[in-house]
Amino acid sequence: MFAATGSPVQARSEAAAPAESAPTDACGPVDGLKFVCGLKKPEDLVRVPDTKWLIASGVAPGARLSLVDTTEKVTKPLFTGGPAQIRPDTALYPHCPGPPDAAGFAPHGLALRPGTAPGLYRLYVVSHLALEGIQVFALDARGAEPSVTWTGCVPFPKGMVGNAVTALHDGTILATIRGDIAFKGPKASSSGITVGAVASWTPGDAGFRQIPGTQMFGPNGIEASLDEKEFYVVSVDSGSVLIYSRAHPGKPVRQSAAPLTSLDNIHWEDGHLIAAGKMADEPACGGTRQQVVNSGQGIHDCIRGYAAVELNPVSMQWRVIAYAEPNPAFDGVATAVPVGNTLWLSSFLNDRVGYRPLPGTK
């Protein structure tokens, strides 16, 4: 499906501009990347199957769920909060306090799962600000463009902060969380990454519960196996994917460190398990995360390159899909989504998503 690249060239050694730069009106191509602008830190992307549409999150105050048209290269709001988009299922989500503020619930991680008929889906969204928890939407992709209806939410217990989410056919939700939630031992690694774990909720439960044995430094992206017998968790601290058995999740059954990238989000796309993230060792920034922390710099003070990779979760073999040096207009790559011969990239730091040709395609 994807053409692999060769070995990465060394990144430029000159100092890079600060990553957390103000949004700019300029949205033209830079260093091989083109952009769709007008978003607010679109940390995650999921593709609506068999369509041209991506759903983008926005992990920033004032951000909302958005659609990205990969053909016309434009973005538009997906959830606006009007009465027609609110249909709470109080039987399934009895502890949900109400719908989110459409213009500012800082949607973070995303997961899209098949619904009751072709073209219908369930959309799960990690939310921040007014509610720390998971917002759930019904998504209808049978029309000219997808539409959503909010159906409920599952709050996290006090002290939990969510990052990424996946869901199973029976409505079970798995989320990576961080916070002061009965963890023992150090609260952060030597490189400054906080401790966290995986939390689970199944319809009928009173609330989320931490899954024993899944504690790790920097849990981030999460995905379930296609047969739902396992789940995969990204550990930012090690740049690895840890695979757990759902039946016996006391410790990982397999794990493997990714090439090039420290990893962020991970999603299935057409049967391929795709992950992406910032370069783990970026010469332009002074090296690895640990080296940057030891030097007294902030971890996001410098723009890092990125890599998109594919994992075979059985053999634990990796394949590089694409990589690039630091780009002054685009940092904080967290998700990669192939659409045809184009690779789409999210950003948790900028006002845009990026896209580029997949290496080896025309």
Least confident of 96-100, 102-106, 200-204, 358-362: 358-362
Q: Each residue of 19-56: pLDDT tens digit?
A: 333 344 589 999 999 999 999 999 999 999 999 999 99
Question: Over the stretch 137-170, which tens digit does the pLDDT of each residue have?
Answer: 999 999 999 999 999 999 999 888 999 999 999 9
Confidence of residue 350 (pLDDT cuts 50, 70, 90): very high
Which pLDDT belongs to residue 192?
62
Interval 230-240: pLDDT, tens: 999 999 888 99
Q: Are 223 and 310 in contact (CB under 8 A)?
A: no
Question: What is the per-residue burial (b if ≥16 Cβ within 10 Å, else e) of 205-235?
Answer: eeebebbeebbbbbbbbbbbbeeeebbbbbb
Which burial class, exposed, middle or buried, applies to 118 when counting CB atoms under 10 A from its CB (0-12, 13-18, 19+)?
exposed
Q: Any idea where the domains of the chain sit in the sequence?
A: 1-30+259-362
Residue 201 identity (one-letter amino acid): W
What average pLDDT does this structure show over 61-66?
Answer: 93
SS3 285: helix
User: pLDDT tier at 6 (50, 70, 90 boundaries)?
Assistant: very low
pLDDT in tens, 275-307: 999 999 999 898 887 788 777 777 778 999 999
Q: Which residues contact 357 (CB under 8 A, 6 or more apart)?
A: 341, 342, 343
Q: How confident is the model at residue 4 (pLDDT cuts 50, 70, 90)?
A: very low
Question: 187: pLDDT confidence band, cut at 50, 70 and 90?
Answer: low
pTM: 0.90
Rounded distance between C-alpha atoms, residue 121 and residue 148, angstroms: 9
CA dihedral 80, 81, 84, 88 (to 10 degrees): 140
